Amino acid sequence: MPFEQPLKKFVLAWPGSLTEQITLTPTGKSGGAGEIFGIDTQPNLLAKLYHATTTPPQLNHYQRKIQWMLNHKPTLPKISAEYQGIVQLAWPEAMIMHQSDFVGFAMRKIAFDQTLELDYLLNRRQASQEDFDIDYGKLVAVCFNLAAIISCLHSMRIAIVDLKPMNVKVYKSELFVSILDCDGFHIATDEFRSDAPQVTPDYLAPEFQGGSVTHPEAQDRFALATIIFRLLNYGIHPFSGVGVNSRDYPPELAGRIRNRLYPYGNSAHKNVLKVPASVHEVLPNALRELFDRAFSASAINRPSAQEWVASLSVYAVKHSGQMLPCNRGHLKFSSSECPTCLREQLIQGAAARRRSFLTRMQTAPTRTLKYVKKTLRQTHTSPFQAALAQTQFAAVHLAPRASLSTRNAIAAEILWIFGLLISYWWIK
C-alpha cells in the first residue's frame, strides 16, 4: 500500500561513509519492486524504497547490488557542459537506510516535464500532443543516443535485459535518452553477478522466448534493434505483418518472434507479407542490413550496440550531409526517397481505398437489385453481362413476360394460390 505521510528518520548513506538524516515525501509513483519518494534535502534526487513485502534474502541481494553499482558507476557518453542537468541513467547515487537497515537507494531525478516516454515517439500524433514534433533527424539522434548508452553498459558487462520503450525517457529539446529501472539491470562481472528476471515478450529475442535469458547482451542487441526499427518505421514492430496462411501465423508477437517471421528483410519472407504502411524500403541500406542481421540471422551475427552507434553516427551528426530536406521540407536520408512523403502516400492511398470500399458496400444492395432486374428482363446494356444472362437461360426458351400491371399480376397470382390450395385439399 503506498505511503501518504512523510517518512522520517531515514539516512542517506553516500559512498565513502558520509551520511545525512532525510525525510521522504511520497510521490504516488510505484513499480514492481519499490515505491518512489522525494528527498527533502536533495531536490535533485529521488528515493526508491523496496516494498515491505521484499524478503530479507532479496533485500540483502539488492543491497549488495546497489553497493556494487555505487562503486562502479559506468562511464557514459560525454555530453557538453550546457547539458549538465541531463540524466542518462537513473543510476544509484546513495543507499537509503532505516535504523541501520538497507531499505532502498537514491538516484538522480529525471525532469519529467522536459522528457517524454520513448513510447510516444512511436506515434506521431501522441508525440505532437506532448509538444514534440518528430522528424527523421530527431529519430536518428534518439536511436544513436540510446545505442551509445547501451554500448557503454555492455562494455562494463552490464545488460538491461528488459529493454523496452516504456523504460526509456527522451529529453524533448536535447534528444538525449534516459534509462530507468537501473537496479533491475543484469550484472555479470568477475566480482559480482546479478540476474535480471524481468522480460517483455514483445522485445524478447527468439532464442529466449519461452525460456530464460542466458545471454543478456544478445537480448539487449535484439531489443535495441527492435526499438530502432519501430522508431524509424512509424512504430511498426519488425515482427508484425500479414500471414500468407493465416492458420500458421501466430496471433501474438511473441509467437512470430519465436518463429522468426520477419517480413521486412532485403529478401522477402515467403510466408509473411509486410504491413502495407511500412516505409522500411526507403531506409538506408546500411541500416537495413543491420536489421536483417538482427532479425533474420542467428544471434551470433546480431549487430552490437557499438555497430549501431557507428552506423547511426553518420546520420546523427548534422553537418555530415547524410540527412537532407525533401521537396516538401521533411528531413530524409540523402540516399533514398523521403519516408515521410512515402508514408503520407501510403496512408492516403489506404484512405482512398477505404472510401471506395465503403461506397461500393453502400451501393451494393441497389446494384444487386438492378443486376437481378436486368437479368430477369434481359435488358443488360453491357455486352458481357448480356452474354452471361443469355447463357444462363440458353437451354430454355422463355416466354416473354406478360405485359400486366403489378395489380393485375397480383390478382392473377391470388387465383393461382387459390388453385394450388384447392388442388392440395382435393388430393391430400
Partner 1 sequence: MSLMLTSVWVVPLLIAWAWRSRQAATASAWLLRIAFAGFGAWAIWFGLYVHEGEPAGIFFWKPTLLYWTLATIAIIAPMLSWTAPAKIIVGAYFALSSREWRWINRGFAIACMLLGAVNLLVASMTSYRNWVDFKFSCLTILLFIGLFRLNFVWLPLIVDLSFHLYRRTVVAYRYVSQLLRTP
Enumerate binding residues for partner 1 (CB under 8 A).
366, 369, 372-373, 376, 396-402, 404, 406-420, 422-428
CB of 413 to partner 1, least distance (A): 7
Our CB check for partner 1 shows the closer of 247 and 407 to be 407
Cβ–Cβ under 8 Å, residues 160 and 321: no
98 or 380, CB closer to partner 1? Answer: 380
* Distance, CA of 87 to CA of 138 (rounded, Å): 18
Q: Give the residue with the Cβ less far from partner 1, 53 or 406.
A: 406
CB of 409 to partner 1, least distance (A): 6
What is the chain's length?
428
DSSP 400: P
CB contact at 8 A, 233 and 278: yes
Q: How far is the CB of 427 from partner 1 (least distance, A)?
A: 5
Between 324 and 369, whose beta carbon lies closer to partner 1?
Answer: 369
Least distance (Å) between residue 398 CB and partner 1: 6
Nearer residue to partner 1 within complex by CB, 79 or 422: 422
**Could you give the angle at which helices 216-232 and 305-316 cross, rounded to 10 degrees?**
30
Q: What is the DSSP letter of 76?
A: P
Q: In this structure, what C-alpha cell is assigned to residue 255?
A: 509467437
3-state secondary structure of 325: strand
Nearer to partner 1, 1 or 396 (CB): 396
The CB-of-358 to partner 1 minimum distance in angstroms stands at 19
State in angstroms the smallest separation of the CB of 359 from partner 1: 17
Transcribe 106-168 into DSSP letters: EEEPP-TTTEEEGGGGGSHHHHHHTT----HHHHHHHHHHHHHHHHHHHHTTEE-SS--GGGE
